[in-house]
Structure 1
Amino acid sequence: MKLSRIFLSIGLLFAVVPAEPAAAQEAAPNPAPTSDAAALSKARAAGTKQRKAKRFYERSFDLSGIPSYRPQARVHGTLRQWGNNYLADSGLMQVWQDGFRKHHPKLRFEDNLYSSSVAFPGLISGAADLAPMGRQALWDELKGLEREGAKGGDEGVGSVEIVEIVMATGSYDVRGWTFALGVFVHKDNPITQLTIEQLDGIFGAQRDGGWNGLTWDASLARGPEKNIRTWGQLGLEGEWADKPIQPYGYNMKYHFNDEIDKKVLKGSSKWNESMRAYSNVAGLKADGTLTAGGELIMQALSKDRYGIAYTGIPFLVPQTKALALGGGDGRFVPLTLETVQDRSYPLIRDVYYYFKREKGRPVDPKVREFLRYVLSREGQQAIQADGKYLPLTAEVAREQLRKLD
């Protein structure tokens, strides 16, 4: 069956800005850094190979509040999965499947785990039963599935729904796997905390509304008077008062921006006009691994006392610092392993499973039982033992299990 092609676009493109490439080239065997897609894929694979067997945290979290797995039905046949390659690269998927087959020895798995980008094409085409993703579904992907559910005329409209299951909390300190997003400034900057509304003012721009799922919501509009463009607007005085804020981030093909857009910019995709945007580069490192856009972002920020950036804690350098974030209630939460795992930090990122279901009909038993296993104590213990993603809290695990009823 021909797969539907999903084009990812947010509507705003920034130029890729290299950060001090000349200095990096002097130490690299390849004097020609490149953003060529084939070279990037090769360098990315080299880095993934180094990381997949490594634990990135040793902390054990209390999982006693998450129930152990008890089968509610015996399942057999084939469960087809398309999506997140990190589950296969890390070996976590194999651990889950081995544990699950102890209860359901007649079930087989067919895995096409190459990238989150193949997840929704698999679901839309009917080639996949489950779609694991290292990020939340994009607008284009949801729209594609909505259109697929409406095929066959007006009677089909709304008959198919997508179910989103959070199956793990994204990492704190691991490069290449889903990680929480931090907001960083130069170490000389006296500011220590910001609200999400202030981040909107810094990274965003005036807007006529924003997307709430697949619905355009004009009530999310705001004017230019809420733009924050100088440090003095955030209360800094003296030499800082009139200094312009220089934002740094990723170019708009990165899914990190989708997270910031949804959680900070109200789904508007309206970004600060002065944003400097970066991309991954190959050819800078002697070991052949990728130079991540986050590294380039933090290199630039380390040389700019008046800059601000969003990326992950793996890219923190001594000249920069992370800010505590708050929601406007007076409580500010620092970016730590504990606040990411307990989900109190505002810019956590999640790891997902998606599947289709006919409205009013029960979930496919194979899908339901496997996801119940992933959300069980055994499934979450496997996540913790792998040491990359973080296990869910008991409350969130229960919330996800209710979606399977």
Structure 2
Amino acid sequence: MNRKFAGATLGVALLMGIAGSATVMADTDTTVRGQREGESTDGLDMQAARARMMTARGRHVAYTKKFDLSGLPDYAPKEKVHGTIRIWGSNYITDGFLGGYWEAAFKKYQPDARIDWHMNTTLSAVPSLALGVSDVGIGRKITFQEQELFERSTNHSPVEIDIATGSYDVPGWQPGYGVVVNKNNPLTRITMEQLDDIFGAERTGGWEGTSWRPNWARGPEKNIRTWGQLGLGGEWANKPINVYGLTLRYHQATEISDRVLKGSDKWNEHLTTYANYVSKSGKLERGMNEDLANDPYGIGIVAAPTTNLTGGASEPTQKILPVAWKDGGPYVPYTLDTLQNRTYPLYDQIFAYLDHEAGKPVNPGVVEFLRFVLSRQGQELVQKDGKYLPLTAEVAKAGLQKLDALEK
């Protein structure tokens, strides 16, 4: 069975919960990669492979550059913390050393504090808050369903604090997204609006959190479906743009929808999507990479793109396009520095969420711990762990201002 489902069959495949069917594709000489003997798409097999991979990556320092963090404030305790801070959420915090680093350093300032970690999955971060079993939820960006669950349980929104920037090239640790095309494609750059027009479709509006925005509607005249519409001439002018992505059940698709398509569920009608699989060697793999690498007219928005440019070949067959927020630029390349300083538009983030109702007292231990995380000392430990990227002074300051506002 193929791991992809696309075009007119996409909705049926999603409803059936399967990862294979016939598809409608543009006329290219691409051959879609099918599942091979010895490979598995079983969910528990993938979970076991994922756990092995995360254990190995968690011990690895992916970058050694030391960013200038002198603009971040030093941590100075405002209150003495006593008791336990319950933290639920992303396993990546404790798969690596970061959670342990934070706890040990925080206790030097707050020796009577105790951290109770429950870090199995980011899926538990917000629900644990809604159910009252955690004080802090840490994970990737809250989803529509998670925010709706929280709001219906508490009648207010969670407080969101940005605590680190996603990684450059470490899958799992919220890596940035690269726009990937064939290395022989003459296109040299792209804008966020063009990505919306390529990957999206006509829509009546979009979602911002749990709020519907009708002003984000757009018509079919905005659709970009050929390379000529992006300014390419000659043999490229009438060639179709073949769009690739991971299954819409995966969070990466949700994140791309939120970041690129203004929260719309209307995708390009010829989107070809893929599920992960476990190879014969027991490694977790992405079937999309090979097909995208072999398609001269393909384009994908790929997490940790620098790790996926060969598609199984000995040399890179793809390139990453610089991206601009709007026409006229600046067009920013995908680099360690542009992700850390957030000038590249498709960086990712890791957040802390907490439950606080306006007018009611805030848990002082939670505030102190997050103030430490946002401090120079806390962000130096992000850098020491070497996967997530440390915050800029501006982002840390915004988070501290949010925390200060909770205490008023």
TM-score (norm 2): 0.88
| Runs of 4+, deviation exceeding 3 Å | 11-19
AA at the equivalent of 2:341:
D
Deviation (angstroms), 1:21: 4.6
| Deviation sequence 1:360-382 (CA, Å, 0-9, x none) | 23421011000001001111000
Q: 1:229 aligns with which of 225, 245, 255?
A: 225
Q: Is the 8 A contact 1:231 1:243 kept in 2?
A: yes
AA at the equivalent of 1:72:
K
Whether 1:16 aligns to 2:9 is: no
Q: Which residue of 1 aligns with 2:202?
A: 206
Instruction: Give structure 1 stretches of 5+ with no counterpart.
Output: 1-10, 26-30, 151-159
Q: Is the 8 A contact 2:182 2:297 kept in 1?
A: yes
Deviation (angstroms), 1:227: 0.4
Q: Is the 8 A contact 2:182 2:319 kept in 1?
A: yes
* Within-5 A mapping of 1:86-235: 86-133=92-139, 135-150=140-155, 160-235=156-231
Q: Which residue of 2 aligns with 1:267?
A: 263
AA at the equivalent of 1:238:
G
Q: 2:280, 2:384 → 1: CA distance? A: 30
* 3-state SS of paired residue (1:373): helix
Q: Is the 8 A contact 1:17 1:276 kept in 2?
A: no
Q: 1:256, 1:45 → 2: CA distance? A: 19
Q: Which residue of 2 aligns with 1:157?
A: none
Instruction: Describe the shift of the 1:327–1:17 C-alpha distance in structure 2 as closer, same or farther (beyond 3 A).
Output: farther
Whether 1:401 aligns to 2:400 is: yes
Instruction: Describe the shift of the 1:327–1:13 C-alpha distance in structure 2 as closer, same or farther (beyond 3 A).
Output: farther
Deviation (angstroms), 1:289: 2.4
Q: 1:34 aligns with which of 15, 29, 40?
A: 40
- Identical positions, percent: 46
Q: Which residue of 2 aligns with 1:297?
A: 288
* 3-state SS of paired residue (2:266): coil
* 3-state SS of paired residue (2:265): coil
AA at the equivalent of 2:84:
T
Q: Which residue of 2 aligns with 1:76?
A: 82
TM-score (norm 1): 0.89
Whether 1:281 aligns to 2:294 is: no
AA at the equivalent of 1:46:
R
Q: Is the 8 A contact 1:363 1:404 kept in 2?
A: no
Q: 1:112, 1:91 → 2: CA distance? A: 15
Q: 2:13, 2:154 → 1: CA distance? A: 30
Q: Is the 8 A contact 1:341 1:390 kept in 2?
A: yes
Deviation (angstroms), 1:285: 4.5
Q: 2:20, 2:380 → 1: CA distance? A: 41
Instruction: Give structure 2 stretches of 5+ with no counterpart.
Output: 1-10, 22-31, 311-315
Q: Is the 8 A contact 2:293 2:309 kept in 1?
A: no
Backbone CA RMSD of aligned residues = 1.6
Q: Which residue of 2 aligns with 1:327?
A: 325
AA at the equivalent of 1:297:
M
**Comparing 296-305 with 37-46, which one deviates more in the overlay?**
296-305
Q: Is the 8 A contact 1:12 1:269 kept in 2?
A: no
Q: 1:161, 1:357 → 2: CA distance? A: 8
